[in-house]
Chains A and B, each alone.
Chain A
Amino acid sequence: MKNGKAAFTLPGVLADVPTHYCPGCQHGVAQRLVAECLDELALSEKAICIGSIGCSVFIYNYLMVDCVEAPHGRAPAVATGVKRARPEAAVFTYQGDGDLASIGMAETMHCANRGERVTIVFVNNTVYGMTGGQMAPTTMVGQRTTTCPGGRCADSEGEPIRMTEIIASLGGTAYAARVAVDSVKNVRAAKKAVRRAFEAPLNNLGLGFVEILATCPTNWKMTPVQANKRIAEELIPYFPLGTYKDLAAREAVDEREVGR
C-alpha cells in the first residue's frame, strides 16, 4: 500500500483462489500476464480458453472465462474448431513444452500455417513438470531429467527445439515472440508480447504466438533464485529472446513508407 492505494491488484478475470503450482514456479506469472492482457483488451466476455495437459491444464481454474479441455497436444486443433464455429470469440490456448512441441507438434505447426485467428501461449520450462520431470523436446543438452538421467545427449535424443523460430517461419503466423519471466525487466517485455499475441488474431492478421521461458524449480532441483539464474545464463543464450515476426509492425512500416 502506498498512500493508502493498492499498488498491486488482482486482474478481474483472475480467480482469487490459491493455485496448485509449486513454490517458485512461474506458471503463476505467465497466467497473470494472460489475465492482465484479457482485462486490458476487455476480452473476458468473449474469450474461450483451450486447456491443455500437464501443469497448464488447471489454467481453467484460475481464469474466469469459458474453457474447454483438450487432449494432450491437441489444443491448437481444438482451438481451430472453436474459432471456426464461433469466429467472434477470442480463442487462445495455454500449453507447456511437452504438449506443444512434442505430442502436439503437428497440430501446432498446422494451426499456425493455416493462420488460425487464435493465440497460442507457450510456457517453456524445458521439462515435463506434472508427470514428474521427464525429458521434453526443449530439454537442454546435458540437462538431467528422469528419462535422460545421464543428461540429454544430442546424438541420441536430438537438440532442444526452438519453437518460436519454427512458428515464425510459417505463412499464417502474424506474431511470434520469445520472452522470459526471470527478471522484472523481462516480465515487462513479456507482458507486451503476450498482449501483441492476443491483438494479432483479433486484428485478423493471423496466428499470435508467444513463448515464455519459465522456471520449474521442483524438477530442476534448484531454488527459485538459482532457477532464475539458469534462465538468464543457460536458456536465453540458446533460446534468444525477441520478436521473430510481427505483421502489425511490418504493416505500420509499410504505411509510413507509403506516406512518404
Chain B
Amino acid sequence: MSTPGERVLIKGNEAICRGAVDAGCQCFFGYPITPQNDIPEYMSKVMPNLGRVFVQAESEVAAANMLLGAAACGVRAMTSSSSPGISLKQEAISYMGGTELPAVIVNISRGGPGLGDIGPSQGDYYQAVKGGGHGDYRQLVLAPGTVQEAYDLIGKAFDLAFAYRNPVMLLGDAIIGQMMEPVTLGTSSGPTRVDQDLGWNLMGKGDRAPRLLKSLHLTDGALAGHNIRLRDKYASMERDVLFENFLVDDAELIVVAFGSIGRIAKSTIRKLRASGKKVGLHRPITLFPFPSRELDKLASGGRRFLTIEHNLGQMVDDVRLAVRKHADSDFYGHMPGNLPTPEDFEQPILAALGVNS
C-alpha cells in the first residue's frame, strides 16, 4: 500500500493497480490481453503479499463471473481487460447490473472491431456507455485523462459501485495505460472488512433469513417494477456527474473530448488561445452519467461545438442530444492505429470555428 502524499513516476496501468489496492480492493480476477497486461501482472505480485486474492481465470468470461461471485459477498473486487476481452465479460456485467452487484471493471481499450490492433482507440464508447450486454441496464463509466486521474478515479469507482450497488467501468485506452507520469498517492483506506453485513451481501445466513441475489423475475409485473426502480436509480446517478471545463467562459467554440483525447485537445486549445482563438474544452469525466445538463448550459450561451473522438463518432451522439435545444456539434474522428498529436486537431478546430489558417 502507498504512503499518502508520496510522489511516484508510474504507468497508467500501475496507477490503476495502486489506486485499487489503496481503495481496499480485496479480490482481483484477470486474464491476459494487451495493452492491460501490467494490471494482472502487478496484482499477481502485490495482492497475495497483502493477504488478498488474485486469480488468473481461464478466460475473460470466467474472470467476470468470479467478480460476480466476490461482488455478491460484498467485498471490493475488480477485473480488468481490453476491448475483445470486455466483449466476453458483457454477459456477467449485464447479470451484475440486473442483480445490482457492486463491481469494478477496467477497460484499457484498443482498436477494433474484431481483433483490431493493440493501439489506442475510443471505439468502445458505445459498448461502455450504452450497455454492451443484453437488457436494460446502465453502468457508471469513468474516463481518466491523466495517470493521476487513473489513480484517483479507481478509488472513486469502488465508492460509486457500493453507493449505487452497480457495476462501474473505468474506461481508459492504450495511451492512458502505457504512458508514465508523476502521481501523488492518496490516503489508503486499507482492505475492506470482508465480514461487513451490508444488509444484502452473502455471508452464509447465520441466524437470519436467507438472502437471494438474482436477476430472474418471472412473476407478472415483477421485472417491470425492477426495471422502473433501476431507471430511477440510474437517474439518481446524475448527482455524481464529473467533468472538466477549460477556458469555456468566453469561448465561441467548445471542443468536447474525453480521456486521453481530451487531454491532447487541451494542448491544442492552449496553443490556439495563444494566437487569440476563442476556443475552450469540455471534457466529460463520467461518460455515464453524461454531463448533459452542463453541456446544455454551455450551449444556451450561443456557442458552437466540435466533438473530437478517437473513433468514427460515438460520444458525438450524446453531445448532440445534450445541446439539441440550442446548438449542434460538428465531429472530427481521428482513426485508431496511431497516436494523435495536438497539431492533428488544429485544422479541424479552426474549420469548426470557420477560420482558415
Query: Considering residues B65, B206, B215, which has the most beta carbons from chain A within 10 angstroms of its beta carbon?
Result: B65
Known A-B contacts A74-B92, A107-B58; A66 and B205 likewise in contact (beta carbons under 8 Å): yes
Q: Which residue of B has the minimal Cβ distance to A13?
A: B210
By the criterion CB–CB under 8 Å, are A81 and B58 in contact?
no
The A-contacting residues of B in range 51-83, CB under 8 angstroms, are 53, 55, 57-59, 61-63, 65-73, 75, 77
The A-contacting residues of B in range 38-59, CB under 8 angstroms, are 53, 55, 57-59
Residue of A69, A85, A90, A107 near B99 (CB, 8 A) is A69
The A-contacting residues of B in range 169-196, CB under 8 angstroms, are 194
Interface residues on B, range: 35 or more
- A236 CB, nearest partner CB in chain B, Å: 32
Q: Which residue of A has the minimal Cβ distance to B202?
A: A66
Interface residues on A, range: 35 or more
Known A-B contacts A45-B206, A74-B92; A106 and B99 likewise in contact (beta carbons under 8 Å): no
Q: Which residue of B has the minimal Cβ distance to A51?
A: B214
By the criterion CB–CB under 8 Å, are A86 and B203 in contact?
yes
Residue of B194, B203, B215 near A69 (CB, 8 A) is B215
Mask, A42-82, CB within 8 Å of B = 1, is 00111110110000010010011111111100100111111
Residue of B27, B55, B69 near A78 (CB, 8 A) is B69
The A-contacting residues of B in range 229-248, CB under 8 angstroms, are none
By the criterion CB–CB under 8 Å, are A69 and B91 in contact?
no
Chain B residues with CB below 8 A from A82, complex form: 69-70, 72-73, 202
Q: Which residue of B has the minimal Cβ distance to A47?
A: B204
Q: Write the residues of chain B forming the contact surface with A, with a CB cutoff of 8 angstroms.
A: 26-27, 29, 53, 55, 57-59, 61-63, 65-73, 75, 77, 91-92, 95, 99, 194, 202-207, 209-216
- Show 29 A/B contacts (Cβ-Cβ < 8 Å), sorted by A: A46-B206, A60-B214, A66-B212, A67-B211, A67-B212, A68-B68, A68-B213, A69-B99, A70-B65, A71-B95, A74-B61, A74-B65, A77-B68, A80-B62, A80-B69, A81-B66, A81-B71, A84-B27, A84-B66, A85-B70, A85-B75, A86-B73, A88-B204, A89-B203, A89-B204, A106-B59, A107-B58, A107-B61, A114-B55
Q: Write the residues of chain A forming the contact surface with B, with a CB cutoff of 8 angstroms.
A: 44-48, 50-51, 57, 60, 63-71, 74, 77-86, 88-90, 106-107, 109-110, 114
